[in-house]
Structure 1
Amino acid sequence: MLYWWSKFVLLGPLMRLLCRPTIEGLENIPEKGAAILASNHLAVVDSFFLPLLVPRRITFLAKREYFTAPGVVGFLKKQFFTGVGQVPVDRSGGSAAQDAMDTAVRLLREGKLLGIYPEGTRSPDGRLYKGKTGVARMALQAGVPVVPVAMIGTDKVNPIGSRIWKPHPVHIRVGEPLDFSRYAGMAGDRFIERSMTDEIMYSLMELSGQTYVDLYAASVKEKAAAATADRVPGTRAG
């Protein structure tokens, strides 16, 4: 109930008014049964617009910090993120990565529609970055198809660092499902998982029209942050 309340009553009308979102290829998303929606990631609002335009409930794995903030504001944030279909996971690394994987596979085996961002983080500059192989492993372990989804225009609505959304058209393009059943039983093979991930990213590149960069977005962000720190006196030990 909370999911539908958030989707249709609280935020949905405002999103439709400001951004006039549209979607094509909706028929490529299965009406029932498990599947992974693998999307490019331009802005935080990607996780809001996709559920708004897809009739089925989509579950996203979200940072646990979204659900653990103290006080009234923290409570409201927890209710909101729960309401839009997000599940808290610890993504700090190590065993947390396996816990997140286990949660994703469990949800898929329950027949749910799972939203994933293969890049692992938002694009720092609007380009499409190298995908992490976790999406491939999830697909193999759960035995489900991967549906590529391109978000277009969300970075104009919610630019990095912005707190207030800006009116701008949003379009979502859904590609045909990618069937990886030919690799059944090969989860854990890093060459197979890399090949699958590259195929997913190629589909996203074609759908979105983004320029592809064969680097991880997180690494690019880390280098940019380090370069900024080097330019600001007193921000790095030297």
Structure 2
Amino acid sequence: MELYTVVHTVVAPVSKAIWRPTVTGLENLPRTGPVILASNHLSFADSLVIPIVAPRKVAFLAKSDYFNGTGVRGRLSKLWFEGIGMLPVDRDDPRAALGSLDTALEVLGRGEAFGLYPEGTRSRDGRLYRGRTGVAHLALTAGCPVVPVGVTGTEKLQPVGARLPRIVPVTVRFGEPIEVAGRYDGVPPGKARREITDEIMRAIQALTGQEEAGVYNERALDA
């Protein structure tokens, strides 16, 4: 039995029992085959909450620091993040963006689910920022659907600086899949990626009700 199955079998039921998240639209998430889950991003906890409530394994990227620690604590951290389906990425490496896309395509190529945040980094003011087109590139390259996800309440679950999560209401909404395969044949790639990304962000906003910032979100040093 793989590590993910062991951890998820224990963590998911316990987490649901403690936090009792409200979850809607699970029927919109295909149970098999490659799919991208594109979510808004309010907290680091988003990458824990979504895999916990999803009915299938969802891989997210996480800072490589979480996998490279030393000693017992470092090994436990590595096992924990691997166990919940996280994949390491060195965000300080200028080539990390390209590497992230390659990693995502490998996951999708195996017929698995990959989660990402089109905003690029978490929102510090609660607004929904403009989406970056990497999500559309992945969807077009893999020929797979995108399921928009709207998460609310996670910014209060574990605010920046808090060592332990709090018990607060959290809601996760899965929207209807957005199919891209065959829709943009003959459309210039740049235009296709922008239109798809904007469609995804509109779907996310409809799920969350967030105010739209209208600009890109720049990564903070501790994001």
Displacement of 1:189:
2.3
Cα distance change, pair 184–62 in 1 and its aligned pair in 2 (3 A): farther
| CA pair 27-64 structure 1, distance change in 2 beyond 3 A | same
RMSD: 1.8
What is the TM-score with the length of structure 2 in the denominator?
0.91
TM-score (norm 1): 0.86
Residue number in structure 2 paired with 1:35: 35
Tell me, in whole angstroms, the C-alpha distance in 1 between the residues paired with 2:121 and 2:97.
14
Residues 140-193 of structure 1 show CA distances to partners (whole Å, capped at 9, x for unaligned) of 11111100001111111112232221111211111000111212586x822221
Structure 2 equivalent of residue 163 of structure 1: 163
Superposed displacement of residue 133, structure 1:
0.9
Flag the structure with larger Rg: 1
Helix, strand or coil: the match of 1:32? coil
Per the alignment, residue 228 of structure 1 pairs with: none
Q: How many angstroms apart in 2 are the aligned matches of 1:40 and 1:19?
A: 20
Hey, which of these two has a bigger chunk of helix by percent? 1
Mapped to 1, the partners of 2:129 and 2:195 lie a distance apart of 15
C-alpha spacing 1:191/1:166, structure 2 compared with 1 (3 Å): same
Question: Which residue does the alignment assign to 1:140?
Answer: 140
Superposed CA deviations along residues 209-235 of structure 1, whole A, max 9, x for unmatched, are 11111122226x47xxxxxxxxxxxxx
Q: Provide the secondary structure at the position in 2 that maps to 1:51.
A: helix
CA offset digits 1:127-150 (Å, max 9, x no partner): 111111111101111111100001
Please give the secondary structure, in 2, of the residue aligned with 1:183.
coil
Q: CA deviation at 1:13?
A: 4.5
1:75-154 equivalences under 5 Å are 75-154=75-154
The letter for the 1-side match of 2:155 is D
- Identify if the C-alpha distance between structure 1 residues 29 and 184 changes in structure 2 by more than 3 Å, giving closer, same or farther: farther
- Code of the residue aligned with 1:25 in structure 2: it is G
Name the residue aligned to 2:198.
Answer: 198
In 1, Cα distance between the equivalents of 2:62 and 2:28? 25
What's the offset of the Cα at 1:18?
A: 3.3
The equivalences for 1:13-52 within 5 A come to: 13-52=13-52
> CA 1:185 to 1:6, structure 2 compared with 1: closer, same or farther past 3 Å?
farther
Percent identity at matched positions? 47
SS of the residue corresponding to residue 218 of structure 2 reads helix
Number of residues of Structure 1 aligned to a counterpart in Structure 2: 219
Show structure 2 runs of 5+ residues with no match.
none
Aligned-partner residue type, residue 212 of structure 2: Y
Once the two structures are superposed, what CA deviation does each residue of 1:16-46 show, in whole Å capped at 9, x if it has no partner?
Answer: 2432112110010001100000011111111
Structure 1 residues 64, 212: CA separation in 2 closer, same or farther (over 3 Å shift)?
same
CA distance in 2, matches of 1:169, 1:47: 16
